[in-house]
Amino acid sequence: MAVAGVPEETDVLVVGAGPAGSSAAAWAARHGLDVVLVDAATFPRDKTCGDGLTPRAVHELSRLGLEDWLREHTVNLGLRAHGFGQTLLLPWPGGSLPNWGSAVARTELDDHLRTTAIKAGATAVDGLRAVDVRRRGGQQGPVTAVVLERTGESGEKERVEIRCRRLVVADGVRSPLGKVLGREWHRDTVYGVAGRAYIDSTRSDDPWISSHLELRGPEDEVLSGYGWIFPLGGGQVNIGVGTLATAKRPANVSIRPLMSLYTDERRAEFALDGDLRASTSALLPMGGAVSNVAGPNWALIGDAAACVNPLNGEGIDYGLETGRMVADLLAAGSRSDLTDSWRRVLVDHYGEAFSVARRLAGLVTVPGLLPALGPVGMRSRFAMTLALRWMGNLVDDADRDVAARVWRRAGRVSAARDARPPFA
Ligand SMILES: Cc1cc2nc3c(=O)[nH]c(=O)nc-3n(C[C@H](O)[C@H](O)[C@H](O)COP(=O)(O)OP(=O)(O)OC[C@H]3O[C@@H](n4cnc5c(N)ncnc54)[C@H](O)[C@@H]3O)c2cc1C
């Protein structure tokens, strides 16, 4: 049955209008494809996030033509790392990537990205939750339509189907539609548990983002994670804490009380004023720790494909990148099977870096290791400059310097030893 405002059919259907989905929709539309972008939420909508944009993300937003828009927001020069009695100012390394970062509240960023997709020619419909798929020829067959549900004004549920030739699944960390398609998230490798809030500060124009690498819990114990304060301009900052966990070593922390504790400890130094607003927490799938990332005519991107850097929790950039790359693939091979080709793209771009990053992040969850190594690392500007580059995966294929070569080699060695490599 046709429903007003909802297209019945499209070439490319993108489910989820976060950074990943909007990027996929924008690039696919720019390739001249017929694109529909749906989301369960009504925009603008919030998303639990630190709102931080590293130079990788700035680079990707610039490709979308958003550099000038981004520069109207905060511009930061690098990371101020605190911990173990030290404070180091670590400028972004530059090289083949921009030498600046930014931070934009997700309510605004995601709305702007979705508008960018619409301007590129995608048809966007919000308030539509994908709940099921229709397939041709059984469970392994191609998806022919997605079943979506919306809630009417008097609370009644209404179902609608959109037929599609290709499907991009960008429905975030829990990926409900991905699950219908067989996506499995493995927690034997590292994942994140994190929370964020907003608070007023007269230091909201600080040109450095701050991270506290010595995050302490209520018993003054060092936790396997870090706290952050990301200036957003306009008198407010994003403040949050994140910890790393594995199935064997769960985080065992209550995020919201930890955020309050962290805020109180930083209140004077960062001129934090008043109460925390919009405190929320969420999980972060990381390092490609999912199986079944693609089928004959569908592909998972962004958080749905666990494309989050295990060493810094960055996922906006990977969402934007995977959106662009899947659109390129769809434009290049109109009818080709995506099952192997999309997995191969993910493995080629992120397999080695995610493998070594999640191995190192996993070490941080080993009790006693961070308190032992943290002070040593923080005493060396050289070590921390390297760490910033590696933790941010700020290494491009074009980089030929020693640090880049060491990182790539570590990735190759790590991937060769993985019991379950990324995206397998
Ligand atoms: C506390 C915290 C802090 C973080 N800090 C940072 C940071 O500072 N920088 C950074 O780069 N990354 C950060 N991340 C990670 C980042 O938020 C994610 O990696 C990023 O949002 C992934 O984008 P996405 O488009 O894949 O998914 P999302 O942004 O989650 O978008 C998914 C979209 O899908 C929609 N959706 C879900 N289910 C359905 C459905 N069934 N039907 C239709 N639509 C659906 C949702 O409404 C949503 O709009 C942080 C994460 C957390 C939890």
CA 137 – ligand 1 centroid, Å? 32
Instruction: Please check whether residue 5 is in contact with residue 158, taking contact to mean a CB–CB distance below 8 angstroms.
Output: no
Which pLDDT value is given to residue 250?
Answer: 86
Instruction: Please check whether residue 169 is in contact with residue 24, taking contact to mean a CB–CB distance below 8 angstroms.
Output: no
Residue nearest to atom 4 of ligand 1 (CA): 49
Whether the link from the prior residue into 44 is cis, omega within 30° of 0, is yes
pTM, two decimal places: 0.95
CA 18 – ligand 1 centroid, Å? 6
Q: Pick from 23, 39, 300 the residue to mutate for probing ligand 1's pocket: most ligand atoms within 8 Å of its CB.
A: 39
Return d(Cα 37, Cα 297) in angstroms, integer: 16
Instruction: Please check whether residue 27 is in contact with residue 327, taking contact to mean a CB–CB distance below 8 angstroms.
Output: yes
Return d(Cα 314, Cα 173) in angstroms, integer: 13
Least confident range of 72-76, 221-225, 314-318: 221-225
Which pLDDT value is given to residue 237?
Answer: 98
Averaged pLDDT for residues 106-133: 98
Q: Pick from 133, 171, 279 the residue to mutate for probing ligand 1's pocket: most ligand atoms within 8 Å of its CB.
A: 171
Return d(Cα 322, Cα 308) in angstroms, integer: 11
Averaged pLDDT for residues 203-210: 97
CA 322 – ligand 1 centroid, Å? 13
362/210: higher pLDDT:
210
Confidence of residue 130 (pLDDT cuts 50, 70, 90): very high
Q: Which two tokens stand for residue 344?
A: 């191969």
Residue nearest to atom 52 of ligand 1 (CA): 49
Atom of ligand 1 minimally distant from the CA of 131: 41
CA 53 – ligand 1 centroid, Å? 14
Q: Pick from 13, 36, 43, 49 the residue to mutate for probing ligand 1's pocket: most ligand atoms within 8 Å of its CB.
A: 49
Identify residue 147 by its one-letter amino acid code: V
Which pLDDT value is given to residue 2?
Answer: 60
CA 8 – ligand 1 centroid, Å? 27
Atom of ligand 1 minimally distant from the CA of 52: 8
Does residue 164 surpass a pLDDT of 70?
yes
Residue nearest to atom 29 of ligand 1 (CA): 18
CA 173 – ligand 1 centroid, Å? 6
Q: Which two tokens stand for residue 381?
A: 């500007």
pLDDT digits (tens, 9 = 90+) for 70-93: 999 999 999 999 998 889 999 998
Does residue 150 surpass a pLDDT of 90?
yes
pLDDT digits (tens, 9 = 90+) for 401-412: 888 888 889 889
Return d(Cα 158, Cα 164) in angstroms, integer: 20
CA 106 – ligand 1 centroid, Å? 9
Atom of ligand 1 minimally distant from the CA of 317: 11
Least confident range of 5-9, 51-55, 236-240: 5-9
Averaged pLDDT for residues 54-76: 97
Sign of CA dihedral 326, 328, 331, 336: negative
Confidence of residue 36 (pLDDT cuts 50, 70, 90): very high
Averaged pLDDT for residues 315-336: 93
CA 278 – ligand 1 centroid, Å? 16
Residue nearest to atom 15 of ligand 1 (CA): 315
Q: Which residues line ligand 1 (CB under 6 A)?
A: 15-21, 38-41, 47-52, 57, 129-130, 170-172, 176-177, 194-196, 240, 282, 284, 302-303, 308, 313-317, 319
